[in-house]
Structure 1
Amino acid sequence: MDRRKVCVLMVLWAVAHLSFPGYGLRALRRTTGGRRGSGLTGQDANGVPLRRSKRGWMWNQFFLLEEYTGTDMQYVGKLHSDGDRGDGSVRYVLTGEGAGTLFKIDEKSGDIHATKRLDREEKAYYILHAKAVNQFTNEALEGESEFIIKIHDINDNEPRFTKDPYMASVPEMSDVGTSVIQVTAIDADDATYGNSARVVYSILEGQPYFSVDPETGLIKTALPGMDREVKEHYQVVIQAKDMAGQMGGLSGTTTVSITLSDVNDNPPRFTKSEYGPSGPEPLGSSVGAIRAMDADIGPNAEMDYRIIGSDGPGMFDVTTNRSTQEGVILLRKPLDFEKKRQYSLRIQVENSHINPHFYSSGPFRDEATIKIVVEDVDEPPLFERASYIMEVKEDAARNTIVGSVSASDPDDKRSPVRYTIDRRTDMDRVFNIHAGNGSVFTLRDLDREESAWHNISVIATEFNNPRLMSRVPVYIRVLDVNDNAPTFATNYETFVCENAKANQRIQTVSATDPDEPLGGHRFTFSLAPEAAGKANFSVRDNKDNTAWILTRRSSYNSLQKSVYHVPVVISDGEYPMQSSTSTLTIRVCTCDREGNMKLCNPEALTARVGLSTGALVAILLCVIILLSEFRGLFTRQRKKEPLIISKEDVRDNVVSYNDEGGGEEDTQAFDIGTLRNPEAIEDSKQRRDIIPETFYPPVRRPVLPPSRDNNGDVRDFINQRLQENDSDPTAPPYDSLATYAYEGNGSVAESLSSLESVTTEGDQDYNYLSEWGPRFKKLADMYGGDDSDRDS
């Protein structure tokens, strides 16, 4: 280590011994009072005798230099007891903060040393405890006592400012000595000892505009009349130095950014005394704009304009545009180019916020003369109204005039005006306009229910200058005409119980009408006249746009008739009156005692999927024919040797498809064994190829006229299918049966049934129609009924 540093430290240590009594070898001592009794030492102010008490250890504080750089451990002090006679029987013990780590004691001599460099800024003092014990018996010779080791400060920390940089502002034109901002520097050294933490402030940059107080760090203005318009921003550098600013002290710096804030010290000024804008003629438009200049900024630069003189009173007005601080001259009365072609205005401008401090230096306002020259400009046509509303009835014929618009040229030359419709607003070309007089008329039939309003735009252009045009919106309302008949409000699904009683309500119906009469709808309901004589149901009008469907008799039989069609006549009360007949389909169902539907007739279910009575008869006829065919087929097969000899029962499947069903759910597999033994078929067994349903909305199908020879149609159809299947080279080597619904002559499906058979040895007898024809005819008459029975 540098010898000079060691010498300096030794000198400081010697000074510490001289400056603080009791420091060093005798820093810790014990009185020689021993165990003597207390003796009188005098009296106090009240005459009470004072006694001297026996004292134990007497301590002084230890001081230790921080940042020690020596090679040996730094000596702190020495512990000594009067009981120590130097025979090595006394052992000194040290406990407390840093004992054994930062501080070590020689147990025999009592010398204390610091093992590491200590920093006062980390910890300023340490509290330790010392005691003397017998080396052999470990008994305490003295009670434990507390002492403090203080770290002696050295100047090893420079001042640091709390901010860097500082931001401040001061109004321009401020007086000398106006406070700007106070800066603060902190020194981590001990402020109670020496000048290590005594800071002095000085200004390095920023003179002669600003100064700083050396003790407080308060920055003030130092130059009068600082003008923001000349210079707005200043950078000031402040230094803080410890040791009271003496040589050898440590220092730190910071930057202070100072901005001069604006004050209203400049009046507005016009750049010239006369202006000559030209003015167009439309009212409320801007004739021109003027602007005065102000060197201030922000609110101090805001200004107001006003007219103080004019040769056209009330003709013009001036307002201030706050974003640009311009004076905008507006036209308030119409101008006439032939009467007066020039106007003169006297306009004054002044600051909105006057600073009384600077007002004495001069008026903060200015004036200028404005000359306005009236120009005769060509303007577009002007409509008489801002918009037009027209009305027309929806039953109006084509080319009916709806209304008219009118526009004129405001110029002196009075150019003719031509009218057109903007087709972008009338793309369907519903209306047109007369180009000369502006009459709007219809081109197509109108329907209020399709569109109640039409919004079009009419364009007016000057005949001599088509580029000048104007537009006006035209709103055309289509008035309602009673041209729609009322109908049922919904598709009702109605049923009547077989055990229903007479005059029982089974359905409440309502109506709807797309028309919109002024007084609202008033519907009336009644039974159609053609069904009144043989009606099984009645219609009661409730006079509230609803009606009840009532039974006219008790007990209905679904086997005799499962579906009734009730024609209901609905009329409105408008002129011209409109009416329509809506048919309500009523199904006959089996119900419980509470009137809840349990089961409906299969005929009603079949009507739901669209099969007529004739189609049902044809299907039943085909099934019976096929059963007979299979019975004869199996009889003949008994005489032949089977194709496959097996112990297992080999059975063919009959697959039935319903063309109007629901897909895969209608496909069912049947056991052909049942067909081999027709006697085993149970009459009460339900069909397995129809999924039972409890409710289907009835769909009325047109009834085909009865054929003159139904048996002949079926016979021809079956013969044709047999011939096709016999000549089919792809027929399978086994018998199979495919059934198809037969709907009679004129079926829309055009596909009825197919019988697939294989030519076998022997003759095939197809003359079964001669036997079954009369029976099927009788069966069709029984289930088909008369066409008149389909009415209510």
Structure 2
Amino acid sequence: MNCCLFLHLMLGIPLLWPCLTATENSKTEEAKHPEGSHLRPKSGWIWNQYFVEEEMNITRKIIGRLSSNMHNGSKSLKYRISGDGAESIFFVDETTGVLSVAQKLDREKQAFYNLKAHLIDRTTGKAVEPESDFVVKVTDINDNAPKFLHEPYAAVVPEMSPEGTFVIQVTASDADDPLCNNNARLIYELLHGQPYFSIEPTTGVIRTSSKTDRELQDSYWVIVQAKDRIGLPGALSGTTSVLITLSDINDNIPTFKKGLYRMNVSESAPIGTSVGTIMAHDRDIGKNAEMDYSIENDESQTFDIITNNETQEGIVILKKKVDYEQQTYYKIRAKVKNRHVDEQLKKYHTVASTTFIRVLVEDEDEPPVFLLPYYIFEIFEGSPQGSSVGVVSAIDPDDNRSPVRYSITKSNTFHIDDNGTIITTYPLDREMNAWCNLSITARELYNEEQTSEVPVYVQVLDINDHAPEFPEFYEIYVCENASSGQVIQTISAVDKDDSIESPNFYFNLSVEDTKNSKFTIIDNQDNTAVIVTNRTGFSLQEEPVFYISILIADNGIPSLTSTNTLTIQVCDCGDSGSIQVCHSKDMLLMEPRTEIMTAVLICAVIIILGFIFMILHLQQRRKQTLFPEKGKDCRENIFKYDDAGTGEEDTEAFAVGELRCSTFMREPRTRKTRSAEIRSLCRMSWQVGPDDAVIKEFILEKLEEANTDTYAHPLDSLQTYAFEGTGSLAGSLSSLESSASGENENFDCFHDLELPFQMFGSAMQSNN
């Protein structure tokens, strides 16, 4: 006990050193500043050493006293503590500073308690002395027994190991203070495990003490005890168990316990089927017990043996198909040997263990077998219905030779009869399907569950049944100033038929175009041809469009020829002389299409709304007509000019006032506005094709006849008033209305009958 107190004193000096230093500093300051100085002298705490023995059964025990030189015994000052366990474990008398402990302590849970001492003025509640730290140390008693670490213990040592071979080291620990009365100094001894093992008392190392044989006993339980206080009286102890397993050495050979194994295999079993297992036994374990099986006398090489590395069984597998009709049983011999043999133990492995295996072949009702694994047939496209494609054949391998019937899975194109002949149900088209994949099922007549399938691939051969044609629509332009021999377009062709030879196509002009054509064609002999001018100079006014017929022939047998018409438009290429200018113009004409379609939709909506409004208006007029005048004949002569009217002067030609009708009011119409421009663009787009040129020529002829016929009525005269003259008796010619109305004109630029009249009116205006 004295040594423990001395040790604690030595350990407590560093902890109390700040307090001692503070006391010395306080004395030094008092010497420097005697009484009466303006500086307040510093004071210090006076400490004693505080120790508490653990596990003491006490209610409250005094362990020391707090003291400060600032406390002069006045009742106005009091002591107070704070920190670990203050006012719960440790208490202080406010007047005397006596420090006491109120409950049992455990050093293994907490060996030190850090506290603070305070000296407080009761009146003001303020500290009159700076707080000071102090430590209460808990002293140790031997109240903990040794405990082994890393339990459970297990070790492996080879069998037949020499004496003194290291096995394992065990380690125990003690929670007590090792510096106090040897409370944590341990010593080891063996309680169970002799005479095979021994232990070193101070280190806990277990070693072999005699030779062991794994085949006699493969494991041992060894009990080890550890005592504290190096085994002196009053020591506590703890025990642990160690499982020591003997590892194997390969000193035994595998042997068969059975001399004959019987197995069965079905003739329908596929290659790789497991027929059965054989098992040899080896007294060794682990790697030393691993073995390999093999077949010795199987001349047919029908079977093989592989080793299951987990169970060390020999698995007999089918290496080749068996046939009950050819051989009903097999007799083979198998042998076994260790996979790993130690050099020093080879003398025990000179002879291998063997056994016999008898395999019986079982007869099975096998499904039909096709003569080929797959079939490939060919047939020309266009072959008539019922044409033969090919024949498949399957037989029943069993002894009863059951008849076989055939069927095609999910096919409407082909049919198969009972003899296996595949025929077509309708003509085939190679361009739709060049290959047809079929699945033919063979089924036994006497046992329909026995079926087998075979894939059949039918290639549809090509015949020359499609004529060549242009792959696209060609927009061809020729400049007015084009020279003779100028290439204006390269053309090609496509053919749905298949062709092996090259070139596939030949190009030429028709007979009529060859005799009288402004263009010629040159075959490039590479499936392309070029269109070349045959003269110098073209006229957009005289001949704006040319049509040439191109003959395209393929290389099929027999060869097919198609006639394809090319439209060549004459274009004013300007100074550049490039055809690209014509393409650019065409693109500009195509741009307003969106605007045109929008206008058409708007017009359609207006027409529908107008039609509905007209029906409602007519129904209302039928109900509200007050002054019906049915006998009067009201006629109108409408003249439309593109220039403004002259007012009163227009009435000299005829009485405009006569045009007015009291019982009928013409619906107002809008003047030609932006929509007219859109219609003009539509008219331009209609003039691109060949029919426009014919219509234009027809209109020009009719216009010439009208101009030369002096007796014809001027019914083709159409004028438009953009502005009416002032003072007219007729008032406003609102049957056509003016552009101020703000309404759009209703028209359809794609109507079939409107285009000639538009062009006719345009021609008349230009003529006037």
**TM-score normalized by structure 1?**
0.56
CA distance 1:298–1:526, change in 2 (3 Å): farther
Structure 2 residue aligned with 1:274, among 260, 271, 294? 260
Q: What is the aligned counterpart of 2:316 among 328, 331, 349? A: 328
Partners of 2:440 and 2:190 in 1: CA distance: 79
| Aligned twin of 1:531 | 513
User: Any idea what the Cα deviations from partners look like across 1:403-429, whole Å, max 9, x if unmatched?
Assistant: 33333333444x2543524323xx233
Give the alignment of 1:319-718 within 5 angstroms: 319-322=306-309, 325-330=313-318, 332=320, 337=325, 341-354=328-341, 366-413=353-400, 415=401, 417-424=403-410, 427-430=411-414, 432-436=415-419, 438-594=420-576, 595=578, 596-597=581-582, 598-600=584-586, 628=638, 671=671, 687-689=677-679
Does the 8 Å CA contact 2:589/2:685 hold for their aligned counterparts?
no
Is residue 545–residue 690 contact of structure 2 (8 Å, CA) maintained in 1? no
CA shift in 2, pair 1:741/1:752, >3 Å: farther
Q: Say if 2:267 and 2:362, in contact at 8 Å, map to a contact too.
A: yes
Q: Secondary structure at the match of 1:392?
A: strand
Amino acid at match of 1:277: M
What is the SS of the residue equivalent to 2:493?
strand
CA displacement, residues 728-770 of structure 1 (integer Å, 9 cap, x when unaligned): xxxxxx9579655599xxxxx7x968xxxxxxxxxxxxxxxxx
In the alignment, structure 1 segments of 5+ residues that lack a partner are 1-11, 29-61, 77-112, 125-148, 611-625, 645-650, 655-669, 675-680, 719-733, 744-748, 754-771, 784-792
Q: Does 1:218 align with 2:215?
A: no
Q: 1:306 to 1:706 in 2, by over 3 A?
A: same
Q: Secondary structure at the match of 2:456?
A: strand
Return the alpha-carbon distance in structure 2 between the equivalents of residues 241 and 637 of structure 1.
Answer: 145
How far apart are the structure 2 equivalents of 1:469 and 1:517? 41
Deviation at 1:335, TM superposition (A): 5.4
Shift in Å, 1:543: 1.8
Q: CA deviation at 1:395?
A: 4.3
CA distance in 2, matches of 1:184, 1:471: 73
Give the conservation status (yes or no) of the 8 Å contact 1:402–1:441: yes
Aligned-pair distance for 1:402? 3.3
Q: CA deviation at 1:388?
A: 2.4
CA contact (8 A) 1:164 1:254 kept: no
* Matching of residues 232-251 of structure 1 within 5 Å: 242-246=228-232
Q: Give the conservation status (yes or no) of the 8 Å contact 1:337–1:374.
A: no
1:400 maps to a residue whose letter is S
Q: In the alignment, which residue of structure 2 is the partner of 1:200?
A: 187
**SS of match in other structure, 1:531:** helix
Residue 170 (structure 1) aligned to one of 147, 156, 161: 156
Aligned-pair CA distance for 1:17? 6.5
For 2:198 and 2:238, locate their aligned partners in 1 and report how far apart those are by CA, in whole Å.
17
The amino acid that maps onto 1:372 is V
CA shift at 1:581, angstroms? 2.3
Structure 1 window deviating more from structure 2 (396-405 vs 201-210): it is: 201-210
Q: Which amino acid aligns with 2:156?
A: V
Q: What is residue 307 of structure 1 aligned with on the other side?
A: 295
- Per-residue CA deviation, residues 542-578 of structure 1 (Å, 9 max, x unaligned), is 2222122233344444454544443322222232212
Change (3 A) 1:284 1:602: closer
Give 1:507 shift: 2.0
Aligned residue pairs: how many? 603
Query: Residue 394 of structure 1: CA displacement?
Result: 2.6
Q: Supply the AA of the counterpart residue of 1:292.
A: M
- Other structure's SS at 2:427 match: coil
The amino acid across from 1:428 in the alignment is: N
CA distance in 1 between partners of 2:393 and 2:454 (Å): 10
Structure 1 residues 14 and 346 mapped into 2: Cα distance closer, same or farther (>3 Å)? closer
Contact 2:439–2:456 (Cα < 8 Å) also in 1: yes
Larger relative helix fraction: 2
Asked if structure 2 preserves the Cα contact closer than 8 Å seen for 1:391 and 1:402, the reply is yes
| Amino acid in structure 2 at the alignment position of 1:433 | I
Cα distance in 2 for partners of 1:298, 1:209 equals 24
Determine the C-alpha separation between the residues in 1 that align with 2:301 and 2:436.
Answer: 43
Structure 2 stretches lacking a partner, 5+ long: 14-19, 21-48, 66-98, 113-134, 598-635, 642-650, 704-712, 717-733, 738-744
Residue 486 to residue 242, structure 1, CA distance change in 2 (3 Å): farther
Letter in 1 for 2:275: G
Residue 291 (structure 1) aligned to one of 260, 265, 278 = 278
Distance 1:552 1:693 in 2: 32
> Higher mean Cα deviation, 259-268 or 191-200?
259-268
Residue type at the aligned position of 1:541? D
Q: Note the C-alpha offset of 1:541.
A: 1.6
The one-letter amino acid of 2:556's match is: E
Report the secondary structure of 2:512's partner residue: helix
Provide the rounded CA distance (Å) in 2 between the counterparts of 1:398 and 1:228.
84
Supply the AA of the counterpart residue of 1:577. S
Q: What SS does the aligned partner of 1:488 have?
A: coil
For 2:292 and 2:210, the matched residues in 1 are separated by 34
Is the CA contact (8 Å cut-off) linking 1:171 and 1:263 kept in structure 2? no
**How far apart, in 2, do the equivalents of 1:194 and 1:285 lie?**
76
| Aligned amino acid, residue 416 of structure 2 | I
Distance 1:220 1:509, change over 3 A: farther
Kept in 2: contact 1:460–1:471 (CA 8 A):
yes
Residues 546, 16 of structure 1: CA spacing in aligned structure 2 closer, same or farther, 3 A cutoff? Answer: same
Q: Is the 8 A contact 1:590 1:600 kept in 2?
A: no
